[in-house]
Chains A and B, each alone.
Chain A
Amino acid sequence: MEQRIDIITIEALSHHFGDKTVLDDINLSIGKGEFVTILGPSGCGKTTLMRLIGGFLNAKEGRIIIAGQDMTKVPPHLRPVNTVFQRYALFPHLNVFENIAFGLKLKKLPREEISKRVKQVLKIVSMTDYEERDVDTLSGGQQQRVAIARAIVNEPEVLLLDEPLAALDLKMRKDMQMEIKAMHKKLGISFLYVTHDQEEAMTLSDRIIVMREGIIQQVGSPVEIYNEPANAFVADFIGESNILNGIMIEDKLVEFAGHKFECVDKGFASNEPVEVVVRPEDIYIFEVSNKAQFTGLVISSIFKGVHYEMLVTTPEGFEFLIQDYHCFNAGRTVGMLVKPSDIQVMKKERLSNVFEGQVIDDQHVKFLDNVFSCNDAGNFESGTEVRVRVDFGDVILYDNEKEGMLSGVVSFILYKGNHYHLTVSSGENENIFADTNDIWDDGDRVGISFDSSAIKLESL
C-alpha cells in the first residue's frame, strides 16, 4: 500500500465569533493528492475552517500544519495554498492573462516562463485564446475557469475551493464537476473543497468531512458516509433516508415502527434506545404476501425519472419513503421487507434535554438564564446545583416568540416517521431538542417553555 503523506494537519482547532463557537476542536488531516470535501449546511463552520487554512482568519486555538510546517501564525501570502473564491474574485482591472499571471509576477519569474505557464493552465481549463479578454466579458463558467487557472498556475501544495460552483446553473455545475475531477487527477495536488451540496461532495471526493455547528460529524469515503452514517444528522443530510426511533432488543435484533427486525449491529445494551436509518431504496415493496415483514398503504407515488418515489404509511402510524423501479399506485396495500444488512443502527446522541441548573426555592429552579417553576424543586435545598432533565416531548413551542419563557430558532428538523424531532437554538450556544407533530420550518423563530411538572431534577 502506498505511504500516505499528510499535506495538511489540523490539531485541536477552535474558533469563536464573540461568544459564538464556530469551530469546536477540529482535528483532521488531508493526504497528498487527496480530494477532500468539507460538507455541511450553511453556518456549520466550513467556510470559517477554509478561511483559517487560507490564513484570512487568525487561528487563536489549535494548530494548522501545512506541508510539514506550522502555519498557524503565518500570513496568507506566505502559505503554500491557493484559493478559488466563491464569487471568483477576479481582478476587474486586469485581463485574463494578467489575472492568471498575478501570482507568477509577484514571484518575479522571467517573462517567457510566465507566458508559458499561463498558456499551459489556460489549456488545462480549456480557455486557450482568451488571454486578452476583459474578465467582465466572460460568462460565469468562464470566470470560474479563470479563477481556477489563476490558483493552479502557482502550483500550490493544496488548492482550496470555496463553493466554487455555487453560482452556476445546474447543467453547467455538472459539467464543471467532471472537469474539476479530471483536473485533480491531472495535477496530482490535494484539493480541499467546501460545499453544502451533498451530491457534489459524493461525485468529487475521495473523502468527505461532514460538519454541523462547528463540529465534525463524520469523516469517511462517500460510500462509507452513505451506507454507514454516524448519526441521524449525517443520514438525513446525505441522500434521503427513513430515520426512526428504535429499541435494540438484543444483539442483531432491533425493534422500530412497531415491528422487530433482524439486523447486523451488535454491542448495544439490551433494550437500549437507538436511531435506525433505512435508505428509501433499501425497502423492498411488493404485493402483500407472507414474505412481507410489515404492510402499509401507499399514500403517494411520484415518477422521478429512473425510479418511483412512494410514501407508505403503516397501520402503526409510521411513514416510510420508498424508492423502487416498480410503481405501486396510491391507495394500494403493499408488503415491505428490509434486509438485515440494510438496517443501520446508531447510538442515540441523547435521550432527553439536559441542562445545568440551580434550585432557587422550593417552587423554582434556574437554568438557561431563566427561572422556571418546577414541582421537583421542593426535594432540594435552595441553592443546590442540579442536573435538569426535560423530555423531548415535554418541550412546548409557541408560534409567537414572546409567549415562551425563552425564544429560539429552529435550526434542524428531522422527520422520525411519525413525529418531527426539532433542534432549536437558543442563546449563543444552547440547543433545545423537541419532539412535535406540528410542522415547523427551518429558521422559524419560536417561543419555548416547559410545564412545571415536566422539569425533572437530579442531584449531580
Chain B
Amino acid sequence: MLKKVVSFSGRRRNWVIPYVLFLAFFVIAPMVLIIYYAFTNPEGAFTFANIKKFWVHPEVLNTFLYSVVVALITTFLCILIGYPAAYILSKMESRKAKLIVILFILPMWINFLIRTLATVALFDFFRIPLGQGALIFGMVYNFLPFMIYPIYNTLQKTDQNLIEAAQDLGANPRQVFLRTEFPLSVPGITSGILMVFMPVISTFAIAELLTLNNIKLFGTTLQENIYNGTWNYGAALSLIVLLLIGATTLINREGNSKAAEEGNLI
C-alpha cells in the first residue's frame, strides 16, 4: 500500500493533479455554471431571454454605460497622474525610487473597504459632499498604484543606450521623450489600463460607500441580482463583463504581444 503511494507521488506528472483539481473546481466549473445559468431560465430551460433583457432594459444598460464612462475617466486620470509620477521615479536614484514606490503601494496593505470608509470619513471631515466627484476620487485613489507600478517598471527598464542613441542622432530632451521613451513605455501603459479599467467597472463597494448608494455601477447591479436570487440574469451580466475583459486582453495581445510581455505587471 505504502509502496503504491510512494510510486504514485514519485511520478512527476502526478504532481500536477492538485492544480488540475483546483482549476477544475474554482475556474472551469464556475465558468461553466455562469454560462449555463446565463442561457437558462429558472426552470432550467434553454433561453436567450437573459441576454435580451440586458439590451432592452434601459436602466441596466445605462448603468453599464455609466460604469464604462467612470472607468474611462478613472483610467484617464490615473494615466494623467501616474505617468509623470512613474517617469520622475524612473529618473531617480533607484534606491530612493524604490522607497517611494513602496510608499505608493503601502496603502494597498490596508483592506480597501477600510480605506474607502476612511475616505468617506475624510470627506465628512472636510464637509465635501459625497457623490460623483467623491466616487471618481475614490476610484483614482484606489487604483493609481496599479497604473504607476507597471509604467515605472517599463520606464525603468528602458535601455539607456536607446536614449543615448536618440540624443546622438540629434534629439533634444523633449524629442528623446516623445520619440523613444514614450513609445517604449506604451506596454507599461497598456498593462496599467488592464489593471485599472476592468476592475473599476466591476467594483461596487467604492460606489456604494462614496455615493451613499446614490450612484449605481455595473458591479452593484451584478451584486444585487446575485443577492436577490435572480441568478440567471446575474450570470448573463457577468458573462458580458467577462467577454469584455477577454476582448480587451485579446486586443492588447494582438496589438503588441511582445511589448505586453515586456511591460509585465509586477
Q: Which residues of A contact B (CB under 8 A)?
A: 54-56, 75-78, 81-83, 85, 87, 89-93, 102-103, 106-107, 136, 150-151, 154
The residue that A85 contacts in the complex, of B161, B180, B184, with Cβ under 8 A, is B161
21 chain-A/chain-B pairs, Cβ below 8 angstroms: A54-B164, A55-B167, A56-B167, A77-B168, A77-B171, A77-B176, A78-B170, A81-B168, A83-B165, A85-B161, A89-B161, A89-B162, A89-B164, A89-B165, A91-B166, A92-B162, A102-B179, A103-B170, A106-B179, A107-B170, A154-B170
A89 to chain B, nearest CB (A): 4
What's the nearest-Cβ distance from chain B to residue A191, in Å? 15
Question: What residues on B are CB-neighbors of A106 within 8 Å?
Answer: 169-171, 175, 179
Q: Are B169 and A102 in contact (CB under 8 A)?
A: yes
B59 is an interface residue with CB less than 8 A from chain A: no
Selected contact of B166 from candidates A54, A55, A102, CB within 8 Å: A102
Within 8 A of A (CB), among B32-58: none
B161, A150: Cβ atoms closer than 8 Å? no
Which residues of A sit under 8 angstroms from B167, Cβ to Cβ? 55-56, 75-77
B261 interfacial contact with A, CB 8 Å: no
Among the listed B172, B176, B183, which residue makes an inter-chain contact with A93, where contact means beta carbons less than 8 Å apart? B183
**Do the beta carbons of B184 and A82 come within 8 Å of each other?**
no
Q: CB-CB < 8 A to A56: which residues of B? A: 164, 167-168
**Is B159 in contact with chain A by the CB < 8 A criterion?**
yes
Nearest Cβ on chain B to A48's Cβ, whole angstroms: 14
Q: Which residue of B lies closest to A156 (CB)?
A: B168
B159 adjacent to A82 (CB under 8 Å): no
Closest to B161 in A: A89
Chain A contacts for B165, CB-based, 8 A = 83, 85, 89-91, 150
Q: How far is the CB of A108 from chain B (nearest CB, A)?
A: 11
A92, B181: Cα distance in complex, Å: 11
In the assembled complex, the Cα of A253 lies from the Cα of B41 at a distance in Å of 112
Tell whether, in the assembled complex, residue B179 and residue A77 are in contact, meaning their CB atoms are under 8 Å apart: no
Beyond A76-B167, A85-B161, 13 additional pairs, beta carbon < 8 A:
A75-B172, A76-B164, A77-B176, A83-B164, A89-B161, A91-B180, A93-B184, A93-B186, A103-B169, A103-B170, A106-B169, A106-B179, A154-B169
In the bound assembly, the distance between CA atoms of A85 and B165 in angstroms comes to 8
* Given A93-B184, A102-B179, A106-B175: A82 in contact with B162 (beta carbons within 8 A): no
Q: Which of A82, A92, A93 contacts B168 (CB 8 A)?
A: A82
Tally chain B residues at the interface, Cβ within 8 Å. Answer: 20
B-side contacts of A81, CB under 8 Å: 168
Q: Which residues of B lie under 8 Å from residue A55 when comparing CB positions?
A: 167
Q: Which residue of B lies closest to A82 (CB)?
A: B168
Chain B hits for A54, CB < 8 A:
164, 168
Bound-complex Cα distance A167 to B161 (A): 15
Give the distance in Å from the alpha carbon of A136 to the alpha carbon of B257 in the complex: 14
Chain B residues in the interface with A (C-beta under 8 A): 159, 161-162, 164-172, 175-176, 179-180, 183-184, 186, 258
By the criterion CB–CB under 8 Å, are A77 and B161 in contact?
Answer: no
Contacts of A151 in B (CB 8 A): 168-169
CA distance A105 to B194 in the complex (A): 33
> Which residue of the partner chain B has the closest CB to A100?
B169
Pairwise interchain contact A92-B184, C-beta atoms closer than 8 A: yes
Q: A154 — which chain B residues lie within 8 A by C-beta?
A: 169-170
Q: Inside 8 A of B164's CB, which chain A residues have their CB?
A: 54, 56, 76, 83, 85, 89
Bound CA span A56–B162, Å: 12
Interface centre among A55, A90, A102, A103 (most CB of B within 10 A): A102
Q: Are A76 and B162 in contact (CB under 8 A)?
A: no
A89 to B168, CA, bound (A): 11
Residues of A close to B159: CB separation below 8 A: 89
Alpha-carbon separation in the docked complex, A106 to B165 (Å): 13
Chain A residues within an 8 Å CB radius of B186: 93
Alpha-carbon distance between A76 and B161 when the two chains are bound, in angstroms: 13
Closest residue of chain A to B163 (Cβ to Cβ) is A89
Cα distance A81–B164 when bound, in Å? 13
B170 / chain A contacts, CB cutoff of 8 Å:
77-78, 103, 106-107, 154
CB-CB under 8 A from A102, the residues of chain B are: 166, 169, 171, 179
8 interchain residue pairs of minimum CB distance: A103-B169, A89-B161, A89-B165, A76-B167, A106-B170, A83-B168, A93-B183, A77-B170
What residues of chain A lie closer than 8 Å to B172, measured between beta carbons? 75, 77
Q: How far is the CB of B7 from chain A (nearest CB, A)?
A: 47
Chain A residues, CB < 8 A from B162: 89, 91-92
CB distance from A270 to the nearest CB of B (A): 55
Expressed in whole angstroms, the Cα–Cα distance for A106 and B179 within the complex equals 10
Q: Report the Cα distance A427→B166, complex, angstroms.
A: 37
Which chain B positions have C-beta within 8 A of A103?
169-170
Give A360 Cβ to nearest chain B Cβ, in Å: 40
Q: In the complex the two chains form, is B169's CB within 8 Å of A82's CB?
A: yes
CA distance A106 to B176 in the complex (A): 10
CA distance A10 to B166 in the complex (A): 24
Instruction: Please name all residues of chain A whose beta carbon is closer than 8 Å to the beta carbon of B258 when the two chains form the complex.
Output: 136
How far apart are the CA atoms of A90 and B166 in the complex, in Å? 10
Contacts of A85 in B (CB 8 A): 161, 164-165
Distance of B148 from chain A, by nearest CB (Å): 22
- Complex CA gap A151/B165 in Å reads 9
For A80, the closest partner residue in chain B by CB is B170
**Distance between B168 CB and nearest chain A CB, rounded to angstroms:** 5
Chain B, residue nearest A103 (CB): B169
| Chain B residues whose C-beta falls within 8 Å of the C-beta of A83 in the assembled complex | 164-165, 168
Which residue of chain B lies nearest to A76 when distances are taken between CB atoms in the complex? B167
